[in-house]
Amino acid sequence: MNITLQNTGRRYNKEWIFRHLDYTFSIGKKYAVLGPNGSGKSTLLKVVSGSLSPSEGTVVYKTEEQTTVEADNIYEHLSIAAPYVELLEEFTLQEMLAFHFKFKNYATGFNYDRLIDILGLEKALDKEIRFFSSGMKQRVKLALACCSDTPIVLLDEPTSNLDRPGEDWYLDLIQQTIDANRMLLVGSNQEKEYSFCDEQLHILDFK
């Protein structure tokens, strides 16, 4: 699947967050969306994900067979982990996983047992998410996004709330789950989060 932005812009009130953005994201590549805090990285990822409409221009989604996917249906083809995407905190971890995978399939080679092994949270299966540390919640968000069977994965500030071992865990998760059949977009301003990416898009270039 390819995602093509054609003269795309987004504004809030009279302020343009970005505009005149022409860019194509292609399957099999890893992209870093870069910029300082408040520059519009998250807004761009929301536009790409279809959760925000562009204020000008278009976003076109096409499968490898060149079939156009409507923006209202792109959610079926992507998974996302971001600070503004919350877990269901009244659920236990076991309930959260069961709920999530009612709507998404596991990525090839993954299942419930392997996901639990990756998370390393075997002792917390019956613990409610609201009692998790911020780092544990972040691991769950990232694992749900990366281990779901979607061709597009969007990660916004992926190592927020992770300590150094957690950062290493994140890099290992990417290596295990993102292959030539998937597209990855990482919104970041920290090189450790995107050093493996193939291309960089600097949001400040489109102000």
**Residue 64's pLDDT is what?**
81
Task: pLDDT band for 16, please (50, 70, 90 cuts).
Answer: very high
Answer for the pair 5, 23: CB distance below 8 angstroms, yes or no.
yes
If you average pLDDT over every residue of the chain, what do you get? 96
pTM metric for this prediction: 0.95
Write the pLDDT tens digit of every residue in 81-137. 999 999 999 999 999 999 999 999 999 999 999 999 999 999 999 999 999 999 999
| Mean pLDDT, residues 177-185 | 96
List all residues 6 or more positions away from 57 whose beta carbon is below 8 Å from its beta carbon. Answer: 5, 6, 7, 8, 9, 19, 20, 21
Is the pLDDT score of 62 beyond 90? yes
| Mean pLDDT, residues 173-199 | 96
The CATH superfamily label for domain 2-206 reads P-loop containing nucleotide triphosphate hydrolases (3.40.50.300)
| Mean pLDDT, residues 172-200 | 96
**Residue 140's pLDDT is what?**
98
Residues paired with residue 26 on neighbouring β-strands, in sequence order: 2
**Residue 66's pLDDT is what?**
81
